[in-house]
Amino acid sequence: MSPRRTETGGRIDRLRTIRFTFDGAPYTGHAGDTLASALLANGVTLFGRSFKYHRPRGLLSAGVEEPNALVTVLRGEVREPNIAATMVEIYDGLVAVSQNRFPSLAWDVNAVNQLGGKILAAGFYYKTFMGPVFGPLKGTRFWMFCEHFIRRAAGLGKAGIAADTSRYERMNAFCDVLVVGSGPAGLSAAKAAADQGARVIMTELEPRFGGSANWSGETIDGAPAADWAARTVTQLEGHDTVRLLPRTTAWGYYDGNTIAALERVTDHKETPGKGEPRHRYWAIRAKTVVLATGSFERPLVFPGNDRPGVMLAHAGERYANDYGVLPGDRIALFTNNDSAYRSALALKKAGAAIVAIVDVRPELSAEMRSLATEAEAEIVSGHAVVATEGGKALSGLKVQRFDMNSGTLSGDARSIHANCLLMSGGWSPTIHLASQAGARAEWNADRQAFLPPKPTQQQWIGAGAFNGSFSTVEAITEGRAAGLSAAGATGAPAAVPDVEATPGNPDPAPVFEIKAKGKSFVDFQHDVTAEDVRLAHREGFVSVEHLKRYTTLGMATDQGKNSNVPGLAIMAEALGKPIPEVGTTRFRPPYSAVSIGSLAAERFGDLKPERLTPMHDWHLANGATMYSAGLWFRPMIYGLAGETIEQAYVREARATRESAGIVDVSTLGKIAVQGPDAGEFLDRVYTNMFSTLAVGKARYGLMLREDGLAFDDGTTWRLGEQDFLMTTTTANTGKVMQHLEYFLDVIWPELKVTVTSVTDEWAGAAIGGPKARAILAACVTGTAVDNTALPFMGIVRGQIAGVPVMICRLSFSGEMAFEVYSGAGYGTHVWEALVEAGKPFGLVTYGLEALGTMRIEKGHVTGAEIDGRTTARDLHLDWMLSKKKPFIGSAMMDREGLIAPERLQLVGLVSLDNRPLNGGAHIVEELDAANPHDSIGHITACCYSPALGKHIALALVEGGKARHGTRAFVSDPLRKRFGPVEIVSNHFYDPDGSRMHG
């Protein structure tokens, strides 16, 4: 039998023994145990080390607010750091280790920091480590030297580098009523709403529904509260409109009543089921939210309040009643309110000796006195704990007479021997979600707590302890009313339930801190003491946000759940102001820390879909090296064995210019522009005319943005009087589509035009080169492809391999070239037929590299030149700016900054030292490799040109056109490439276009 396990009681399954390890040592526990309860049952008192002073720490709580007992759970190589032991359900084979200690939890060298004590007070680092003003450590060097060590001492657990192999998923849910919390209030709300036929979702962050009903020891309607809760859950499960989510933390309250919740699906399992996600991220859109989130018990601030063995009172009660574990066998309590008396009695019943109840209040009610008597506990009223004793476990405490009104201590200190001290500083409603939803908390002087106000913009209703209604009767009554109201019912509320509970006044005495010698912790994990709060006050950091930021109070993993109110109270006292005038911080999501995996959800390991052309598999099967372009994959080269990338693209480009080449152009954006006003619309959208384009012809078009800068280019084909097929650059497809839709919907609704993305409808193959026409002639049926039937920019329809195709004679490569479009489902048939037909003609397949090479040789622009900063003039496309009509951008394109002569303009460059040029290299007039300066431009694209036998580039250069024929230098200090170039026209190859016009 474990030293602290009770004989009976608790909701664990004593017949099931579970084996696990902590810091390498084997332990056993029972099904239903958390790591915290199981270790506690094994007599473990030391769970962790604090952040700054590395003080030994035990369990403070039994729940999500635990600041001390943080562990790392290991699953093979995969690490999960910083989990509260109170939230880890044990399973066979669980491996947990403590953290932030070296070499071991029991003996930690960084505990030496405690000696630094007063020097390491709040904000000390702002005042030092600046280092000398002169010498080798001037500037930031000294600080960075210190920082190196500070960073290693700080931090909690260690993150993993090994990829997590779990899966995460998202679930989009909709409901009428979302109930957050499944204590008596939440259960009652869910039941009331479900009985009205509402779609209900209820979330509970713990494994078991019922909240305090599981451990309160109360009876509801004649049954033990836990049985009542179980019965209610069974009733809820009978509704098919109800979804119950255990182990699910509602962590974020977003606009539109959208609640984010995290369901821990398999963390408690040794092995997840096939396909089962570890975490499921619920995005719940609820018509109404019922917040039944309960409340947190607050610690008291007194010297030594962080000693292992000092715990929140209700946590002790929970360990006994929920888990059958005694946190100590000689237990003292220290309280400012009545709730601790119930805890004392519960622990007495569970088998512990209650040695004393130390109460700051001088007068106690008869009811409390009788509870203490029942617990066989000595009442030490009008006293306070002023010290605790022991090392890594509590051995005793000291109490002194205490005046609640003045806060002064008097008389001799008296020692009490105890190995557990349970404290209760009153209760704070868990108002985080309401605060996230925009509600400003209001201080209630009776409850000594911030209570939620009325909801403002979001649709929520509070119930139970969340409202500061701490009794179970109130919780059930408010829960029922909230559930009914949330479901839109107006019926009379059900009769008040019959609850048997220990009596108690919900209002604590307004005592937060006992000022005595020694460190009194406010924020346990971050080691923020009451003295730190007062130091912040002395230095003027008095607003609540300054307090938080200066001392780091409330910034630990518990996010102030334990420290917020005590910290405020101490600052308020220092300022001589009431607490509400100091303010409270607005809570931000998440309510408690959320795994990043869950937020990435189904996109973990699958960030973006792959976009594939119809011929994708053919490319792979035929040796293509693929290039990721946005979401698309496109062939970069079709390399032969032993070829480098450059050898491959040079071969492909050369073969294309010598015979013919074929390239997959299916990724080009294609937009169907249809309707009686389509021509007029295109005239407004493009800088040049399209309404005059003949049916069966295509035209190259340029679009500007409203601000007059170049936006996109492409050819648009007139397939019918009212039917155009626009093509866009691959990268800009989505933007162009939205641009067109915006103008049609918002600016020119009178135009009868529809635009539809048909990118995926068509497979496109561009075939170019001197033999291209002959190849087409060899495989196309149903139409001629000669110069008469298919002139430059002409379009014909025919068949290839029995498949209907549309052929447009246009050229990007500068060769006689054709784009062949077919239905995407036939793309591979047509492609294969073309490749087959091309074999006798020496047709090659080519990829993006050769495509780029040939376009550079021709001086065509792409996204590297139309980069959102260039104008049509900069790119020598001003011939396309119609003077006959206004178009988008026409009014703004001639502003002074856009026509300045020193603007960057498109030019060609030829390497004069015969060495390769680099993309992103800059251009200078005078070379200074040691101290590069005065850049006049940069290279946008470069290649070895097989047609010219030279290394060439396109570049944007200041006043570029006027520099044609002059010499300059590439200056690429990043890659140490410097050398002479000649600035030339961007039209390197066949500037007259004789090859493509044939």
CA-closest candidate to residue 94, choices 169, 14, 25: 25
Instruction: Please give the Cα distance from 554 to 524 (Å, whole number).
Output: 9
Instruction: Please give the Cα distance from 715 to 692 (Å, whole number).
Output: 15
Tell whether residue 742 is a contact of other proteins (CB under 8 A): yes
Whole-number minimum distance, CB 469 to other proteins, in Å? 28
278 vs 697, beta carbon nearer other proteins? 278
**Using CB under 8 A, which of the segments 311-319, 694-702, 760-768, 943-951 binds other proteins?**
760-768
Instruction: Please give the Cα distance from 740 to 742 (Å, whole number).
Output: 5
**Considering only residues 938, 951, 963, 995, which one is a binding residue for other proteins as defined by CB under 8 A?**
938
631 vs 640, beta carbon nearer other proteins? 631
Tell whether residue 597 is a contact of other proteins (CB under 8 A): yes
Asked if the peptide bond before residue 103 counts as cis, ω within 30 degrees of 0, the response is yes
CA-closest candidate to residue 331, choices 503, 315, 9: 315
**Using CB under 8 A, which of the segments 346-354, 470-478, 546-554, 943-951 binds other proteins?**
546-554
Query: Taking a C-beta distance cutoff of 8 angstroms, is the pair 26, 19 a contact?
Result: yes
Tell whether residue 376 is a contact of other proteins (CB under 8 A): no
Tell whether residue 935 is a contact of other proteins (CB under 8 A): yes
Instruction: Please give the Cα distance from 664 to 387 (Å, whole number).
Output: 79
Where does residue 813 rank: exposed (0-12), middle (13-18), buried (19+ CB within 10 A)?
buried
Tell whether residue 646 is a contact of other proteins (CB under 8 A): no
- In Å, what is the CA distance from 165 to each residue of 195, 521, 597, 605? 42, 39, 10, 9
**Using CB under 8 A, which of the segments 267-275, 490-498, 782-790, 960-968 binds other proteins?**
267-275
Whole-number minimum distance, CB 898 to other proteins, in Å? 4
Whole-number minimum distance, CB 467 to other proteins, in Å? 23
Tell whether residue 258 is a contact of other proteins (CB under 8 A): yes
Tell whether residue 797 is a contact of other proteins (CB under 8 A): no
Which element (helix H / strand E) includes 233? helix 225-237
Whole-number minimum distance, CB 935 to other proteins, in Å? 4
**Considering only residues 826, 846, 988, 989, which one is a binding residue for other proteins as defined by CB under 8 A?**
826
Residue 926 identity (one-letter amino acid): E
**Considering only residues 3, 438, 491, 840, which one is a binding residue for other proteins as defined by CB under 8 A?**
438
**Considering only residues 300, 347, 709, 765, which one is a binding residue for other proteins as defined by CB under 8 A?**
709
Q: How many chain residues are in contact with other proteins, going by CB under 8 A?
A: 180
**Using CB under 8 A, which of the segments 60-68, 87-95, 150-158, 569-577 binds other proteins?**
150-158
8 vs 608, beta carbon nearer other proteins? 608
Q: Strand 967-972 vs strand 950-958: parallel, antiparallel, or unpaired?
A: unpaired
Which parts of 168-187 interact with other proteins (CB under 8 A)? 168-174
Whole-number minimum distance, CB 902 to other proteins, in Å? 12
51 vs 402, beta carbon nearer other proteins? 51
- In Å, what is the CA distance from 23 to each residue of 17, 95, 105, 106, 828? 20, 8, 8, 11, 60
Q: Which residues of 382-396 are buried (b: 16+ CB within 10 A; e: fewer)?
A: bbbbbbbbbeebbeb
Binding mask 410-429 for other proteins (x = CB under 8 A): --------------------
Query: Taking a C-beta distance cutoff of 8 angstroms, is the pair 85, 59 a contact?
Result: yes
Can you spell out the DSSP letters for 500-559? E-----SPPPS--B---SS-BEEETTTTEEHHHHHHHHHTT--SHHHHHHHH-TT-STTT
Instruction: Please give the Cα distance from 231 to 211 (Å, whole number).
Output: 14
286 vs 421, beta carbon nearer other proteins? 286
Query: Taking a C-beta distance cutoff of 8 angstroms, is the pair 727, 720 a contact?
Result: no
252 vs 838, beta carbon nearer other proteins? 252
**Considering only residues 50, 467, 674, 730, which one is a binding residue for other proteins as defined by CB under 8 A?**
674
Binding mask 223-242 for other proteins (x = CB under 8 A): --------------------
Beta bridge partners of 179: 202, 290
Cα 954 vs. chain centroid, distance in angstroms?
40
Whole-number minimum distance, CB 807 to other proteins, in Å? 17
**Using CB under 8 A, which of the segments 342-350, 469-477, 541-549, 808-816 binds other proteins?**
541-549
**Considering only residues 43, 782, 802, 840, which one is a binding residue for other proteins as defined by CB under 8 A?**
802
Instruction: Please give the Cα distance from 772 to 816 (Å, whole number).
Output: 7
Tell whether residue 949 is a contact of other proteins (CB under 8 A): no
Whole-number minimum distance, CB 846 to other proteins, in Å? 17
- What SS3 class is residue 653? helix
Tell whether residue 696 is a contact of other proteins (CB under 8 A): no
**Using CB under 8 A, which of the segments 423-431, 669-677, 783-791, 808-816 binds other proteins?**
669-677
**Considering only residues 353, 501, 689, 898, which one is a binding residue for other proteins as defined by CB under 8 A?**
898
Instruction: Please give the Cα distance from 167 to 602 (Å, whole number).
Output: 8
Whole-number minimum distance, CB 822 to other proteins, in Å? 8
Query: Taking a C-beta distance cutoff of 8 angstroms, is the pair 233, 211 a contact?
Result: no
363 vs 750, beta carbon nearer other proteins? 750
Where does residue 931 rank: exposed (0-12), middle (13-18), buried (19+ CB within 10 A)?
exposed
Tell whether residue 21 is a contact of other proteins (CB under 8 A): no
Instruction: Please give the Cα distance from 294 to 464 (Å, whole number).
Output: 7
Residue 301: DSSP 8-state: B
Whole-number minimum distance, CB 287 to other proteins, in Å? 10
77 vs 498, beta carbon nearer other proteins? 77
427 vs 633, beta carbon nearer other proteins? 633
Tell whether residue 591 is a contact of other proteins (CB under 8 A): no
Tell whether residue 576 is a contact of other proteins (CB under 8 A): no
Q: Is the Cα torsion angle 800, 803, 809, 815 positive or negative in sign?
A: negative
Tell whether residue 827 is a contact of other proteins (CB under 8 A): yes
Tell whether residue 931 is a contact of other proteins (CB under 8 A): yes
Which parts of 484-513 interact with other proteins (CB under 8 A)? none
**Considering only residues 58, 81, 309, 396, which one is a binding residue for other proteins as defined by CB under 8 A?**
81
Provide φ and ψ at 855, rounded to 5°: -75, -30
Tell whether residue 759 is a contact of other proteins (CB under 8 A): yes
Q: Strand 460-462 vs strand 279-291: parallel, antiparallel, or unpaired?
A: parallel
CA-closest candidate to residue 820, choices 896, 767, 867: 767
691 vs 722, beta carbon nearer other proteins? 722
**Considering only residues 609, 642, 901, 965, which one is a binding residue for other proteins as defined by CB under 8 A?**
609
**Considering only residues 17, 457, 692, 914, which one is a binding residue for other proteins as defined by CB under 8 A?**
457
Whole-number minimum distance, CB 289 to other proteins, in Å? 14
Which parts of 717-736 interact with other proteins (CB under 8 A)? 722
Cα 578 vs. chain centroid, distance in angstroms?
38
**Using CB under 8 A, which of the segments 335-343, 365-373, 625-633, 776-784 binds other proteins?**
625-633
- What SS3 class is residue 963? helix
Which parts of 43-62 interact with other proteins (CB under 8 A)? 51
Instruction: Please give the Cα distance from 216 to 989 (Å, whole number).
Output: 87
Provide φ and ψ at 946, rounded to 5°: -65, -30
Which parts of 950-969 interact with other proteins (CB under 8 A)? none
Whole-number minimum distance, CB 933 to other proteins, in Å? 6
**Considering only residues 255, 363, 902, 992, which one is a binding residue for other proteins as defined by CB under 8 A?**
255
Residue 438: how many other CB atoms lie within 10 Å: 13
